[in-house]
A and B are shown apart, each in its own frame.
Chain A
Amino acid sequence: MAHVLLRHRDIPNLNQLDVYQKNGGFEAFKKAITAMKPNEVTDVVKASGLRGRGGAGFPTGMKWSFIDNKNWPHYVVANADESEPGTFKDREIMESNPFQFLEGLAIASYAVGANAAYIYLRGEFWQVAALLDEKIADMEKAGLLGEKLFGSDYSLKIYTHLGAGAYICGEETALLESIEGKRGQPRIRPPFPPAYGLYGKPTIVNNVETFTNVPLILANGAEWYKSMGTPDSAGVKIFSLSGRVKKPGNYELPFGTTFRELVYNYGGGILDDRPVKAIMPAGASSSLIVVDDKALDTPMDYASVRTLGADLGSASVIVIDDTVSIDWVINKTIHFFKHESCGKCTPCREGNHWMMHLTERIHSGEGSQNDVSLLLNVAKQMQGKCLCALGEFATMAVVTGIERFPQDFQKAVKA
């Protein structure tokens, strides 16, 4: 099947503006501005069933319809912070199919009446930001950005903004704080960004992959998009496959593809042909799925993955084989979250600190079964008490690791 998002894999040089335009590029943006009212654009996106690709899976069109039309100006922000361990899809989109992303961002801006859009890239994407700046300049030269677009009264400017190495800035309110020139610490919500966002103004924040779906939805219609995927999870998704597989990489597949197809047909199976032990479908934030035949045959859509006691999230599928001990896995995830906790709320800041001490003791072979119980207890105490999702994410692998793989922890501690 031809790609919807990773179209550069089918069409050479799609990152050149003339090639992109020859393949229908910016026709959807033109159609939106010249033939559709802003709310009609939102209605099509709503009808398509598109859900946010950053991890939360919130219905995109519904989010756009929440924009507060009594308060102006409006902003649209692309979340290109891509920092979840196991996620590397937005970078491929921006590097290789940048105009489809930019067109989606432009269409969203028109739909919610924003005349300025920001792309917030993680600081490490220095080269990607430079490339997007070139592409934005190409669009300005071609009259696709700027004043009075396509003879209408609509104007739009797009700017890039580089972060500087902080996972928390993928959280949308922390991201907005960061653009405002502050430390990237989440805000207390509500109010949510569609009411109170960048500079206190109504703002729509979506993931890069979410925007990249929009031009083809507008061009081909909501029914076309819904014909792919499952009723609960419409369309296609880029699955970032990593860990102990032979062929890691990005695979664009319809929702509802099984784990088995992804790991064995696309990923080429497991290194040294070992058995799969566990899968983390949402990166380091994920619960650990115990892998058996039933799990492998589970379709990857939001609802089905939940039946395995996990979330699909951003579909960053980390594969763990039987050579790996789960106490080592959670040692890695806890170190990550300890480093990335922003320090604003106590349960996350202190909880991660103490979880790190405990996991270090267990992992070094100096721990006892009591330390394992205490670690589980600390993680459960954090749950439901943190200001944002980061603190909750930090506990997922810890709780499910200890509860679903107790034998690995028994082996790790002193008898």
Chain B
Amino acid sequence: MSLAQKYPNEVNQILAKYPPEHKRSAVMPLLYLAQREEGYVTKDALKDIAQMLDITETDVASIVGFYSLYHDHKAGKYRMQVCTDLPCALRGADKFLADLCGNLGIQVGETTPDGLVTLEAVTCLAACDKAPMFQTQGPDGIQYHENMTVDKTLELIEALKSAGKEVK
């Protein structure tokens, strides 16, 4: 099913933001929409967006490749993206991430065996005064989690786990 069939209202709202002769501008919001269910942009979605905006699939793929928040492959249901940039690192972000890896038994870039969380190290998220911090990118968008500890993070993961079960 195409994006326009699946989410007609949202697609129309997105297209209405830009002058009709510049509808290519809608590529970024449409990619977010396309990622919502699978957590990454499928080949079919690339084709669908390209057709909707009269651009090539290569054009769309180049946007996916350029921007960090678009993904071309499947990962955990939630991507847990820990900021390890200078200001956060001055407040213990590297140690936090290492301890978290130890507790989860995975390395940066890996996914927990249940497929729930992929752990990533990312650049600055504009929350330098509330380190250690990370964002989760998942089916419900992006959420910030600030002033974190390993214990609080493990609690969050438990909550995400049970939230998933309720949906099923």
Chain B's interface size range is: 35 or more
Q: Give Cα distance in the complex from A182 to B26, angstroms.
A: 10
The closest CB in chain A to the CB of B90 belongs to A243
Kindly state the separation between the CA atoms of A88 and B127 in the bound complex, as whole angstroms: 6
Instruction: Tell me, rounded to whole Å, the shortest Cβ–Cβ distance linking A87 to chain B.
Output: 6
- A-B CB pair tally, cutoff 8 Å: 138
Write the residues of chain B forming the contact surface with A, with a CB cutoff of 8 angstroms.
17, 19, 22, 24-29, 31-32, 53, 55, 62-63, 66-70, 85-87, 89-91, 122-131, 135, 141-144
A164 beta carbon closer than 8 Å to chain B: yes
Tell whether A164 pairs with B70 under 8 Å between CB atoms, given A85-B124, A183-B63, A340-B123: yes
- CB-contact partner of A82 in B90, B126, B131, under 8 A: B126
Tell me which of A6-14, A122-130, A302-310 binds B. Answer: A122-130
Q: How far is the CB of B61 from chain A (nearest CB, A)?
A: 11
CB-defined contacts of B22 to chain A, threshold 8 Å: 180-181, 199
Residues on B with C-beta less than 8 A from A207 are: none
Indicate if the CB atoms of A164 and B90 lie closer than 8 Å.
no
Q: Could you say which residues of chain B place their CB within 8 Å of the CB of A387?
A: none
The reply on A184 being an interface residue by CB < 8 A is yes
Q: How far is the CB of A361 from chain B (nearest CB, A)?
A: 19
**Which candidate, A155-163, A186-194, A219-227, A228-236, is the interface stretch facing chain B?**
A155-163
Q: Is the interface of A mostly helix, strand, loop or mixed?
A: mixed
A110 lies within 8 A of chain B by Cβ: no
Contact, CB under 8 Å: A159 / B126:
no
A-B contacts, 18 of them at CB < 8 A, read A88-B126, A161-B25, A161-B29, A167-B124, A181-B28, A181-B53, A182-B63, A199-B22, A241-B129, A242-B129, A242-B131, A243-B86, A243-B87, A244-B91, A249-B129, A316-B128, A319-B90, A336-B123
Nearest residue (CB) in B for A91 is B126
State the Cβ distance, B39 to closest chain A Cβ, in Å: 14
Using A178-B28, A243-B91 as known contacts, say yes or no to A123 and B69 having CB atoms under 8 A apart.
yes
Closest chain B CB from A188 CB (angstroms): 19
Contact pick for A83, options B28, B90, B126, B142, CB 8 Å: B126
Closest CB in chain B relative to A310 CB, distance in Å:
16
A284 near B66 with CB under 8 A, answer no
Contact of A336 with B66 at beta-carbon distance under 8 Å, contacts A85-B86, A127-B142 already known: no
B residues in contact with A179, CB < 8 Å: 25
- A-side residues, CB < 8 A to B, are 82-88, 90-91, 122-127, 130, 159, 161-167, 178-184, 199, 240-244, 248-250, 284, 316, 318-320, 324, 329, 332-333, 336, 339-340, 342
In the complex, which residue of chain B has the Cβ closest to the Cβ of A243? Answer: B90
Report how far A88 CA is from B135 CA in the complex, Å.
15
Cβ–Cβ contact A166 & B126, under 8 A = no
In the assembly, what is the distance between CA of A165 and CA of B35, in Å?
Answer: 15
Report A-chain residues with C-beta under 8 Å of the C-beta of B28. 161-164, 178, 181
B86 contacts A284, C-beta separation under 8 Å: yes
Which residues of chain A are within 8 angstroms of B122 by Cβ–Cβ distance? 165
CB distance from B98 to the nearest CB of A (A): 15
In the bound complex, do residue A318 and residue B70 qualify as a contact, i.e. CB atoms below 8 Å apart?
no
B126 and A122 contact, CB distance less than 8 A: yes
Residues of B near A180 (CB, < 8 A) are 22, 24-25
In the complex, what's the smallest C-beta–C-beta distance from A179 to chain B, in angstroms? 6
Whole-angstrom distance from the CB of A311 to the nearest CB of chain B? 17
Query: Known contacts A84-B124, A127-B144, A181-B24; is A164 also within 8 Å of B86 by CB?
Result: no
Which residues from B are CB-within-8-Å of A242?
Answer: 87, 90-91, 128-129, 131
What are the residues of chain A within 8 A of B29 when measuring CB–CB? Answer: 161-162
If A126-B141, A127-B143, A248-B129 touch, does A183 touch B66 (CB 8 Å cutoff)?
yes
Compute how far the CA of A125 lies from the CA of B86 in the bound complex, rounded to whole angstroms: 20
With A159-B17, A324-B90 given, is the CB distance from A183 to B68 under 8 Å?
no
Q: With A85-B87, A244-B91 given, can you name 9 additional A-B contacts, CB distance below 8 Å? A: A86-B124, A86-B128, A159-B17, A164-B67, A165-B69, A166-B67, A166-B68, A181-B24, A243-B90
